[in-house]
């Protein structure tokens, strides 16, 4: 990995390949929180990449899931998605190549800097293709290849209680405790 060096757009495919290479599992479950402005919600995201299936439940009891190819219906219109497209961002963190931030055609961000932080993490700084002052960051766990923290324009998603190698359980009934303090990083 090319650490502590400013990267160009042509380095993006290599960075993504290196992040994908960190992953040694096919299934994962994580509890987390998503914050946008003053509102936030807690969730449990699950992914089984081999089965091309994901499941998401939040603290309001809303559930969503998909296996392989799926169709989203909105009124009279419908859209077909093929794994991993169409996964919610909270699930995409478990499968980083699903994020639209790797400088591929049509994506608005690309990685410009990789740095080691803490004992086990990488900090990736992304730059917007049209505005170099518009940045986003992601913290990747080097032992799992999972993005455990994503910050884009004031919106933030943090994963905690990450379990790898677990079976997908769409019937999971997680307990969500009130958030009383900021979530302390464990990099």
Residue 72 pLDDT grade (very low, low, confident, very high; cuts 50, 70, 90): low
- pTM to 2 decimals? 0.91
Tens digits of residue pLDDT in 29-61: 999 999 998 899 999 999 999 999 999 999 999
Distance CA 38, CA 169 (A): 31
Full set of structural domains in the chain with CATH: 9-164 (2.50.20.10)
> What tokens does 132 get?
């170099």
């Amino acid at each position: 990995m090319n650490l502590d060096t400013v990267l160009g757009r042509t380095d993006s495919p290599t960075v993504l390949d290196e992040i994908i290479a960190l992953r040694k599992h096919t299934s994962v479950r994580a509890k987390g929180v998503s914050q946008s402005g003053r509102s936030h919600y807690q969730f449990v995201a699950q992914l089984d990449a081999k089965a091309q299936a994901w499941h998401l439940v939040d603290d309001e009891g809303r559930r969503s899931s998909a296996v392989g190819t799926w169709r989203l219906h909105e009124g009279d219109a419908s859209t077909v998605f093929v794994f991993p497209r169409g996964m919610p961002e909270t699930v995409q963190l478990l499968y980083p190549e699903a994020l639209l931030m790797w400088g591929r055609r049509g994506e608005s961000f690309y990685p410009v800097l990789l740095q080691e932080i803490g004992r086990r993490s990488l900090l990736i700084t992304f730059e917007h293709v049209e505005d170099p002052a518009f940045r986003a960051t992601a913290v990747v766990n080097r032992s799992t290849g999972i993005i455990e923290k994503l910050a884009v324009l004031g919106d933030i998603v943090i994963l905690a209680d990450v379990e790898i190698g677990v079976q997908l359980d769409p019937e999971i009934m997680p307990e969500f405790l009130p958030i009383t303090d900021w979530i302390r990083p464990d990099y």
